[in-house]
C-alpha cells in the first residue's frame, strides 16, 4: 500500500486538523504505517522535533496520533506571523527570513512547490499511507496560482481530496457545492467527496440534503461526525485566539483539596504556544482563563505571561493596558507569576532587540534579574533537567538570549520568591514537576488546593487521540475511506460549472 489523502476544508477551522488526526489514529489501529503531512502551516503554536527542527504543533500531535516521532518533512513550510503584514518563513525546520504576504504569494511560495513535493514523496516512500492536511479553503481563487498546500499539492502528487465542512456554522451544503464549483476541471477531478463535521441532532434529518448534494455534484458524503465537547488538538492560529474560554471544554474531576486554583493567562499580542497552559487546565480544580484587563488579575492565584512572537510589542501592550502595573503589584505582594519564553523576557530588567522588533534597548518589567539580547540565530532545542525536585522535559523556540544575574535557578531561567521565568515550553506537561509547581503556587496564594496524585497529561492526550479515532471509525464510511486512500479519486467525476475563473 502506498496510499494518500488530502483533507481540505470549506473554511479555516472547519476541522481539518482534527479529522486528519482522527484518520491517522484510525489507520494506525488497523496496523497501517501512517504519517501526517501539511505542506504549509501558518501558526504561532510550534514544536521542536528531536533533530531540532521547528514545525507546527498540530503536525506534532498528528504524528503522535500515528505513534511516530514528528520530523521536519511533515511540515516543510511554517509561517509565523509577526503582525498583519509579515511572517517569519521557517523552511524544513529553520527560519530563512521575514517576508510580507505580497512578497511570499508573489513568487516565493510557488518556488517551494518542489521542496514540499519532495518531502511528501519521501514520506510516501517510507510509510504505507500519508494523510495530508490542507489550509484554509482550496477554493481561494485569488491564491490558486501559487498554491502549494491545497490543490497544488493534490495535483502535484495526484492525491484524492476529502472536503470537510463545519455544519455547526451553518451553510454547509452551499459551502460544499461552492467549493467544488470554483475549482478548475483538473482540480475537480481529484475532489472525491465530503465529510460533515460537528453535526447536532438526528442524522436522518440531514440525509435528504446529502442525497441532493450527491445528485448535484456526483460526489458522496464519506460520513457525518457528531458534535463532541472537548475534542481537538493543539490550535494553530494564535492570532485568532478568543480572549475568553480558549481552553477546550473537558470533563474534569472535582478538586482534591478544599479550594480551586485560579490561573489568569495574559492574552498578549502575537501569543505563541498558549498550549503551554493546557496541562494546567487538565488538572482537577485548576480554572484557566485568558484575560486582557488588570482587574481580571485580582482574584488570580497564578498569572501566566505566555510566549509571543513580538516580545517588545507585547510589553508595550501590557503597559498600555495597565497590566504591567498589576504584575508589579503582584510581585510586591508576593503573589505568584510565571513567565514562559517571551513572557520570561518581559519579566526581566532589560531587552536589547535589533532582530524581532528592531526597537533597540527597551526596559523590561524588572521583576527578575535577567537581561535579554536578541540573536539572529534561533534557539531550537529539546532540553531536559530537574526543578523542584522533579524531572522536567521541554522545548525552546526563541531568538532572545537571557543572561541571568541572580535569583534561584529555575530550569534555564530563575525565580525570585513566587515569580518564576523560563524559556522552556511544555515543562508543565511533566506530571511530577507540574504537581510540585502547583503546590508551591497554592502555598504562596494561601489556597487549600491539592494537586490530583494521578493526573497523567500524556495519558489524557492519548485518550483524546483515541476519541478522534473512534469518531472516524464509528461515524465515517471507513470502507469507502480506505478505498479512497488506497486507490485515489474515482474516475469520471463530473465537472460542476462554472469552474475557476480564467
Question: Which residues are tagged catalytic?
Answer: 341, 425
> What are the angstrom distances between the C-alpha of 95 and each of 89, 91, 273, 395?
6, 6, 17, 17
Rg of the chain taking only CA atoms, in angstroms? 23
Largest CA distance in the chain: 71
Residue given cell 504561532 in the structure block: 44
Chain-centre distance for alpha carbon 59? 8
Residue given cell 507540574 in the structure block: 434
Q: Which three cell numbers stand for residue 246?
A: 480558549
Residue 299, Cβ neighbours under 10 Å: how many?
A: 8
The answer, yes or no, to whether the previous bond of 498 is cis (omega within 30 of 0) is yes
> What are the angstrom distances between the C-alpha of 202 and each of 67, 225, 227, 283?
34, 12, 12, 34
Contact 368, 450 (CB under 8 A): no
Residue given cell 519532495 in the structure block: 118
Spatial distance between the Cα atoms of 45 and 56, rounded to a whole number of angstroms: 6
Helix (H) or strand (E) holding 264: strand 261-266
Q: Which three cell numbers stand for residue 372?
A: 535579554
Residue given cell 504505517 in the structure block: 33
Residue given cell 493567562 in the structure block: 265
Spatial distance between the Cα atoms of 146 and 107, rounded to a whole number of angstroms: 7
Q: Is the dihedral of CA 149, 152, 156, 159 positive or negative?
A: positive
Residue 359, Cβ neighbours under 10 Å: how many?
A: 16
Beta-strand pair 271-272/307-308 = antiparallel
Provide the 3-class DSSP secondary structure of residue 331. Answer: helix
Considering only CA atoms, which of 427, 421, 415 is closest in space to residue 400?
A: 421
Give backbone dihedrals phi and psi of 373, rounded to 5 degrees, phi first.
-120, 130
Contact 399, 374 (CB under 8 A): yes
Spatial distance between the Cα atoms of 148 and 113, rounded to a whole number of angstroms: 6
Provide the 3-class DSSP secondary structure of residue 260. Answer: coil
Spatial distance between the Cα atoms of 368 and 419, rounded to a whole number of angstroms: 8
Q: Is the dihedral of CA 145, 169, 16, 59 positive or negative?
A: positive
Amino acid at each position: 500500500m502506498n496510499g494518500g489523502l488530502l483533507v481540505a476544508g470549506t473554511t479555516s477551522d472547519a476541522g481539518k486538523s482534527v479529522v486528519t488526526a482522527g484518520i491517522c489514529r484510525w489507520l494506525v489501529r488497523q496496523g497501517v504505517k501512517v504519517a501526517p503531512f501539511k505542506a504549509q502551516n501558518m501558526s504561532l503554536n510550534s514544536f521542536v522535533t528531536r533533530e531540532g527542527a521547528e514545525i507546527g504543533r498540530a503536525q506534532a500531535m498528528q504524528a503522535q496520533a500515528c505513534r511516530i516521532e514528528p520530523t521536519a518533512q511533515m511540515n516543510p513550510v511554517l509561517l509565523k506571523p509577526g503582525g498583519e503584514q509579515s511572517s517569519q518563513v521557517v523552511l524544513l525546520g529553520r527560519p530563512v527570513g521575514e517576508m510580507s504576504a505580497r512578497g511570499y504569494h508573489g513568487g516565493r511560495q510557488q518556488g517551494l512547490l518542489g521542496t514540499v513535493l519532495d518531502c511528501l514523496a519521501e514520506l510516501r516512500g517510507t510509510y504505507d499511507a500519508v494523510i495530508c492536511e490542507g489550509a484554509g479553503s482550496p477554493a481561494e481563487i485569488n491564491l490558486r496560482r501559487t498554491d502549494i498546500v491545497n490543490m497544488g499539492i493534490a495535483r502535484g502528487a495526484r492525491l484524492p481530496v476529502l472536503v470537510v465542512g463545519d455544519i455547526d456554522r451553518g451553510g454547509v451544503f452551499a459551502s460544499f457545492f461552492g467549493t467544488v464549483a470554483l475549482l478548475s476541471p483538473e482540480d475537480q477531478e481529484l475532489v472525491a467527496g465530503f465529510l460533515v463535521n460537528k453535526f447536532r441532532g438526528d442524522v436522518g434529518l440531514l440525509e435528504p440534503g446529502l442525497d441532493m448534494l450527491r445528485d448535484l455534484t456526483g460526489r458522496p458524503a464519506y460520513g457525518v461526525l457528531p458534535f463532541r465537547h472537548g475534542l481537538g488538538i493543539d490550535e494553530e492560529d494564535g492570532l485568532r485566539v478568543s480572549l475568553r474560554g480558549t481552553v477546550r471544554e473537558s470533563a474534569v474531576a472535582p478538586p482534591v483539596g478544599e479550594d480551586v486554583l485560579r490561573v489568569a493567562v495574559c492574552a498578549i499580542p502575537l501569543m505563541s504556544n498558549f498550549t503551554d497552559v493546557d496541562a494546567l487546565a487538565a488538572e482537577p480544580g485548576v480554572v484557566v482563563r485568558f484575560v486582557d484587563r488588570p482587574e481580571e488579575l485580582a482574584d488570580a492565584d497564578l498569572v501566566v505571561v505566555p510566549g509571543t512572537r513580538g516580545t517588545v510589542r507585547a510589553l508595550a501592550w501590557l503597559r498600555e493596558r495597565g497590566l504591567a502595573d498589576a504584575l508589579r503589584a503582584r510581585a510586591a505582594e508576593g503573589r505568584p507569576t510565571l513567565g514562559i519564553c517571551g513572557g520570561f523576557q518581559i519579566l526581566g530588567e532589560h531587552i536589547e532587540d535589533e532582530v524581532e522588533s528592531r526597537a533597540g534597548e527597551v526596559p523590561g518589567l524588572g521583576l527578575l534579574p535577567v537581561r535579554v539580547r536578541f540573536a539572529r540565530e534561533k534557539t531550537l532545542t529539546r532540553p531536559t533537567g530537574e526543578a523542584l525536585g522533579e524531572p522536567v522535559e521541554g522545548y525552546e523556540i526563541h531568538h532572545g538570549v537571557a543572561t541571568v544575574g541572580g535569583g534561584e535557578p529555575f530550569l534555564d531561567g530563575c525565580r525570585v520568591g513566587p515569580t518564576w521565568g523560563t524559556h522552556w515550553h511544555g515543562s508543565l506537561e511533566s506530571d511530577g514537576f507540574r504537581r510540585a509547581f502547583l503546590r508551591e503556587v497554592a502555598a504562596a496564594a494561601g489556597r487549600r488546593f491539592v494537586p490530583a496524585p494521578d493526573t497523567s497529561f500524556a495519558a489524557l492526550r492519548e485518550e483524546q487521540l483515541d476519541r478522534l479515532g473512534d469518531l472516524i471509525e464509528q461515524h465515517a464510511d471507513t470502507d469507502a475511506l480506505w478505498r479512497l486512500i488506497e486507490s485515489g479519486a474515482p474516475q469520471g467525476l463530473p465537472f460542476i460549472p462554472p469552474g475557476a475563473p480564467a
